[in-house]
Amino acid sequence: MPLIYPQHAQSLYEALRPDPYFAALEQWAAHPPGREAMLDYYDFSMREAAEYGRLFFPEGEASGVSVWLLPQTPERAAQRKAAREEFLLQRFGTLALSRYRAAMINMTANAGHLVDEAAWYLSIVGVLPAHQNRGLGAELVGAVLRESDRQGVATWLETFVPRNRPFYRRLGYRIVGEFSEPVTGSPYALLVRPPG
């Protein structure tokens, strides 16, 4: 299937290569090259956000993206999960799907008692390295935070990259838990931001 957001997928790929979670996912890809699988993954995630959450990038700008998932009815949540797992099976293979499921079980259990069910989830945010430290990341996240604030709902995220924590703190997030994800073998933090 051709990419719907090819430039944005490329931006996410370049921005998130140092992230241990996405690096592990790339290594799990059964159909080399891993880069092509990850471009498909990021494009799928953006299409998923457009249907089940919020997808934000500045108009005419392909250097950064924020990908959000919002709470759904049980039926819609099951539909989204089935579509994601089918995509992973077809594009990454059985072993990658098995590892993904195991990681999600761990991470969902960790989030379960720390995150309100109504909270919006910042699934992915990335800015091309050449465009970082110019305020674009805050713009990408802030646009959706203003909406969540108007609706009075919290937002949350996980980060596997310690140097990202100060960025999220400046946006009002606080760390509510730190964990080790055994499938990827990487530590991560869970952060929550109450509505402002």
pLDDT of 32 higher than 80: no
pLDDT of 56 higher than 70: yes
Summarize pLDDT for 64-83 with one digit per residue, the tens.
999 999 999 999 999 999 99
Summarize pLDDT for 122-161 with one digit per residue, the tens.
999 998 887 887 778 899 999 999 999 999 999 999 999 9
Q: How deeply is 131 buried, as exposed, middle or buried, from its count of CB atoms within 10 A (0-12, 13-18, 19+)?
A: middle
> d(Cα 153, Cα 146) in Å, to the nearest integer?
10
Residue of higher predicted confidence among 133 and 28: 28
Please give the model's pTM, rounded to 2 decimal places.
0.94
Characterise 137 by phi-psi region: left (phi > 0), alpha (psi -120 to 50), beta (else): alpha
Torsion sign, CA atoms 188, 21, 5, 48: negative
Summarize pLDDT for 36-47 with one digit per residue, the tens.
999 999 999 999
Locate 31 and state its tokens: 């159909």
Dihedral angle of Cα 39, 45, 48, 52, to the nearest 10 degrees: -160
Summarize pLDDT for 3-12 with one digit per residue, the tens.
999 999 999 9
Summarize the confidence of residues 168-177 as an average pLDDT.
Answer: 97
Buried b (16+ CB within 10 A) or exposed e, 88-121: beebbeeebbebbeebeebbeebbeeebeeebbb
In the chain the domains, ranked by start, together with CATH numbers, are: 6-193 (3.40.630.30)
